[in-house]
């Protein structure tokens, strides 16, 4: 399994965990469960995780599919530099964020999912992976006339001299005066 970038899966898992944390948090808060403030925390943690994980990192090999509209968040995530680039930090951040939500049944699933994501990120970090932003390539505008390079230096390819003579002779109407002896065989060119 040498080619796997674990961070890709960790990213999907973490994003899902964020959504589950948000959902569990909303249930606990809206239902006014006991210690529902943990639910409120869970919503906040879930939102943070989602924002962090939404922009997909660039794969080292091959092209990466961007998530819809991720370029705005990419800019923000990029700002934090090594904090977001390094997967060890991400692993421990996710683990830390997950713990408080584990005290409430409504959010414990989010905790479990985020903890697993944290584990996969740790694995990714150990294998030396890191997050790099997907930068948009500068658009190559097709310049009008840009492909016209220098004027041709060679004349266009022409049929051999013998064949060239025939049409011009006919055009000029010069009588050939009998069959012409050709110095070398001439192929009948299909015009």
Residues of the shown chain interacting with another protein in the complex, contacts defined by CB under 8 A: 1, 3-5, 8-9, 12-13, 15-16, 20, 23-24, 27-28, 31, 33-35, 38, 56, 59, 62, 64-65, 103-106, 108-109, 112-113, 116, 147, 157, 189-191
Q: Which is nearer to another protein, 79 or 190 (CB)?
A: 190
In angstroms, give the least distance from the CB of 52 to another protein.
16
**d(C-alpha 191, C-alpha 175), whole Å:** 22
Nearest to 105 by CA among 19, 171, 178, 24: 24
Q: Which is nearer to another protein, 3 or 168 (CB)?
A: 3
Q: Which is nearer to another protein, 97 or 110 (CB)?
A: 110
In angstroms, give the least distance from the CB of 63 to another protein.
10
| Cα torsion 30, 55, 95, 112: sign | positive
**d(C-alpha 158, C-alpha 156), whole Å:** 6
In angstroms, give the least distance from the CB of 178 to another protein.
30
In angstroms, give the least distance from the CB of 156 to another protein.
9
Exposure string of 55-67, with b = 16+ CB inside 10 Å and e = fewer, is bbbbeeeeeeeeb
Q: Which is nearer to another protein, 8 or 73 (CB)?
A: 8
Q: Which is nearer to another protein, 57 or 125 (CB)?
A: 57
Q: What is the DSSP letter of 55?
A: S
What CA–CA distances, in Å, run from 101 to 7, 62, 109, 114? Answer: 23, 37, 9, 10
In angstroms, give the least distance from the CB of 23 to another protein.
7
| Contact status, residue 101 vs residue 45, Cβ threshold 8 Å | yes
């Amino acid at each position: 399994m040498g080619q796997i970038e674990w961070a890709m899966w960790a990213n999907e898992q973490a994003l899902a965990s964020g959504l589950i944390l948000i959902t569990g948090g909303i249930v606990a808060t809206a239902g006014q469960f006991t210690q529902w403030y943990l639910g409120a925390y869970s919503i906040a943690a879930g939102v943070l995780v989602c924002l962090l994980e939404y922009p997909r990192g660039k794969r080292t090999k091959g092209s990466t599919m961007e998530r819809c509209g991720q370029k705005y968040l990419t800019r923000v995530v990029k700002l934090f530099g090594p904090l977001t680039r390094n997967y060890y930090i991400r692993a421990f951040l996710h683990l830390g964020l997950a713990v408080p939500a584990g005290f409430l049944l409504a959010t414990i699933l989010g905790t479990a999912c985020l903890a697993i994501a944290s584990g996969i990120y740790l694995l990714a970090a150990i294998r030396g992976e890191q997050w790099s932003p997907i930068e948009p390539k500068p658009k190559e505008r097709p310049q009008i006339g840009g492909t016209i390079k220098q004027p041709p230096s060679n004349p266009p390819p022409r049929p051999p001299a013998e064949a060239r003579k025939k049409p011009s002779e006919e055009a000029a109407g010069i009588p050939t005066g009998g069959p012409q002896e050709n110095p070398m065989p001439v192929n009948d060119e299909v015009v």
